[in-house]
Chains A and B, each alone.
Chain A
Amino acid sequence: MKQLRKELPFDTDEVGRFLPWIIFFMVFLGLLALAITLSVSESINGWNKNLSSHITIQVPPETASSNDLQKVITVLKSTKGIKKAQLLDSSTKLTLMEPWLGKRTENISVLLPEVIDVETDRNKFENISELKLKLKKVIPEIIVDDHREWLMRLISASEKIKAISVAVLILIGVISVISVMFATKTGLAVHTPIINLLHLMGAKDTYIVNLFQLRVLYLAIIGSLIGSVSAFIVLYIFKTIAHDIELSIYSESIGSLNNWFVLILVPLMAIVVSVVTTRRVVFRTLARMP
């Protein structure tokens, strides 16, 4: 095998030095971009699931009459997308407050705000700020707990991060293909006299393509290996640091087994793309020979 495969003096061209670096960078950046995409989108999924269909409305103690409260409930019930609005009784409130206040007696219940539990239909209910305005007309001190809203904001920001990293990923893919094409064309140009000779001696296209393909396979594997190892080291360090500084909203998912498998696709893709691109370039060049 080794004997058969030395017709082209590959050590004399620059491709051997150039291509593994390209693939190294592509795999390295690709893995980081994919890791970011994956962990962000996993976080988004998690937040979406946690996006409660409940809104909590609080009225500070002694700011509203029961009449006003009743009005608020009426407004809520007539709002589109709200399925249920219910004033909590004091025993329920006490149960809710237990983690903070412990088991207390009735007499503190007067100090607690009135709480209305609102259940929304997430598909229909949209505009919480409009609702807030309407309720504030009835009771100015009313507090609408819109944890929904900041979560939504976090989600939309994260969606942007995700979109950017997906775009980076696609860019990296395109650059890889172009670089491999460039490298292969350089190699072809350097070796044209020998390729012509082999062609004239009756070498089939596959014979010549295989010479290039084996070599690119070898170079791509080297580049991918180094790129993967480096990327995983960086990801591991990032994960540790993120954990230490409690930035874990994004980093949790990096470690899950699922994602490791997806990440392995990056070096595999790099190898496949390199080999396929090289084959196509060499075949097309050979097809132009008489």
Chain B
Amino acid sequence: MLRFENVGMRYGIGPEVLRDLNFSLDEGSFNFLTGPSGAGKTTLLKLMYLALRPTRGLVHLLGHDIALTPRSELPMIRRQIGVVFQEFRLIPHLSAFDNVALPLRISKEREDVIEKHVKELLMWVGLGNQILAKPATLSGGQQQRIAIARAIIAKPRLLLADEPTGNVDDNIALRLIHLFEELNKTGTTVIIATHNQKLLEKLDHPVIKLTNGELQILNNNSNIL
């Protein structure tokens, strides 16, 4: 489902942020991505959601060699990837409903279908009463749930979340992870970037660890410590 071969990434003429990444992830797996701040977690996720192209190496994603994929086919690949951005990136002038509906509208879903699914999902994340609220009128936690709802509304094959547990207490962090686990049970491959060590210890999922731009995959959480 996802395979990196000798991937290197640098910004402009800066040093290589990521070096010689060689790894693959199975369809339906649930993975944590960890590493100290500045280790390159966000950069790696950006390579996965096609916001960046690697400066060298090959990225295979959802059955495509990205370097060889014509530009016109990239939107179809992107539509199978849901992203929860670290800073949420909600559109401020749109209501909770319209923010969550965006991926469906982009893929030209019928409006009555959109209405049904978006309302259901907003109920499920506990925002059934805030359907028409603008992001600015909502709390940080509520905004995050809108961002998550938007990332999963189109039933993506790959879900990427960049530090979703960053600004919430451990209890809520755990609940968020359970939410992603629910999604994972339906077949979605999940990658969650976090530097919350407690979470990694508590949950038994493979961990992709980045240190100084190099990557190792730890399958047993006892190895982390």
Judge if A46 is at the interface, Cβ distance under 8 Å: no
Q: Judging by beta carbons under 8 Å apart, are B78 and A201 in contact?
A: yes
Q: Judging by beta carbons under 8 Å apart, are A201 and B103 in contact?
A: yes
* Residues 73-112 (chain B) with a chain A CB within 8 angstroms: 74-81, 83, 89, 91-94, 98, 102-103, 105-107, 111
B116 to chain A, nearest CB (A): 15
| Segment among B11-19, B48-56, B182-190, B212-220 that sits at the interface with chain A | B48-56
Q: Judging by beta carbons under 8 Å apart, are A290 and B50 in contact?
A: yes
A290 touches which of B53, B79, B93 (Cβ 8 Å): B53
- Residues of chain A within 8 A (CB-CB) of B81 are 202
* Residues 260-290 (chain A) with a chain B CB within 8 angstroms: 287, 290
Q: Judging by beta carbons under 8 Å apart, are A203 and B75 in contact?
A: yes
Contacts A6-B94, A201-B79, A204-B75: A290 and B89 contacting too (C-beta < 8 A)? no
Q: Judging by beta carbons under 8 Å apart, are A202 and B79 in contact?
A: yes
Chain B residue nearest to A207 in the complex (CB):
B106
Q: Judging by beta carbons under 8 Å apart, are B52 and A202 in contact?
A: no
Q: Judging by beta carbons under 8 Å apart, are B51 and A200 in contact?
A: yes
Q: Judging by beta carbons under 8 Å apart, are A197 and B91 in contact?
A: yes
Judge if A102 is at the interface, Cβ distance under 8 Å: no
- Residues of chain A within 8 A (CB-CB) of B83 are 200
CA distance A27 to B70 in the complex (A): 41
Judge if A99 is at the interface, Cβ distance under 8 Å: no
CA distance A194 to B102 in the complex (A): 11
A203 touches which of B71, B72, B92, B106 (Cβ 8 Å): B106
Contacts A200-B51, A201-B103, A202-B106: A7 and B91 contacting too (C-beta < 8 A)? yes
Q: Judging by beta carbons under 8 Å apart, are B50 and A198 in contact?
A: no
Main secondary structure on chain A at its contact with chain B? helix
CA distance A202 to B53 in the complex (A): 16
Judge if A92 is at the interface, Cβ distance under 8 Å: no
Q: Judging by beta carbons under 8 Å apart, are A197 and B106 in contact?
A: no
B50 touches which of A12, A193, A200 (Cβ 8 Å): A200
Chain A residue nearest to B105 in the complex (CB):
A4
Interface string of A182-202 (1 = CB under 8 A from B): 000000000001101111111
- Residues of chain A within 8 A (CB-CB) of B78 are 199-202
Q: Judging by beta carbons under 8 Å apart, are A202 and B89 in contact?
A: no
Q: Judging by beta carbons under 8 Å apart, are B103 and A12 in contact?
A: no
Q: Judging by beta carbons under 8 Å apart, are A201 and B89 in contact?
A: no
- Residues of chain B within 8 A (CB-CB) of A290 are 50-53
B76 touches which of A194, A199, A202 (Cβ 8 Å): A202
Q: Judging by beta carbons under 8 Å apart, are B94 and A202 in contact?
A: no
CA distance A9 to B93 in the complex (A): 7
- Residues of chain A within 8 A (CB-CB) of B98 are 3, 6
CA distance A196 to B85 in the complex (A): 13
CA distance A287 to B71 in the complex (A): 9
- Residues of chain A within 8 A (CB-CB) of B76 are 202
Interface string of A37-51 (1 = CB under 8 A from B): 000000000000000
Known: A194-B91, A197-B89, A203-B75. 11 other contacts (CB 8 A): A3-B98, A3-B111, A7-B102, A196-B51, A200-B51, A201-B79, A202-B75, A202-B77, A202-B78, A202-B103, A290-B52
8 contacts between A and B (CB under 8 A): A6-B98, A9-B92, A201-B79, A201-B103, A202-B74, A202-B103, A203-B106, A207-B106
Closest A-B pairs by Cβ, 3 of them: A202-B79, A202-B78, A9-B93
Residues of A whose CB lies within 8 Å of any CB of B are 3-4, 6-7, 9, 12, 193-194, 196-204, 207, 287, 290
